[in-house]
Amino acid sequence: MKKIIFLITWLTSVYAYADDYMQSVPATISFMGSHNQYGMGDVVFKLSTPDIRCPDGYWLNKKDVGFEPTLSMLIAAYHAKTPIRAAGLTNQKWDGSRGFYCKLYSISYPL
């Protein structure tokens, strides 16, 4: 019985997380911006093919553990016009704009 309850709880949490997580199609970065006052260094960017759940783009905070390597990948992709795939959390909207920026979870260079 405990195994069944654990399994149901686990499946429910996985599906709840899946609703908040989205991954973009491969696209180039069309805009990047940095806010030195708001959020102590928040960075926002938008893809050339925005996802409907993150229409204005994605944001990351300087306090994020992976901020520096992620920012390096973003800058490199932006200057080289290399497509990236962004994964965002739709339940963590950026408060620095009226637009809808999703919290960046990860980025990758598609194969």
**What are the pLDDT tens digits along the chain (111 aa)?**
555 444 444 444 444 445 688 999 999 999 999 988 877 789 999 999 999 999 999 999 999 999 999 999 999 999 999 999 999 999 999 988 889 999 999 999 998
Helix (H) or strand (E) holding 17: helix 2-20
On whether the 22-108 domain is CATH 2.40.50.110, my answer is yes
Q: Which of 51, 46, 52 minimizes the C-alpha distance to 31?
A: 46
Q: Which of 50, 47, 58, 48 is nearest to 96 (CA)?
A: 58
Whether pTM > 0.85 for this model: the answer is: no
Q: Would you list the domain boundaries of the chain?
A: 22-108
Q: Are strands 57-60 and 101-108 parallel, antiparallel or unpaired?
A: parallel
Amino acid at 109: Y
Q: What is the DSSP-derived secondary structure letter of residue 67? A: H
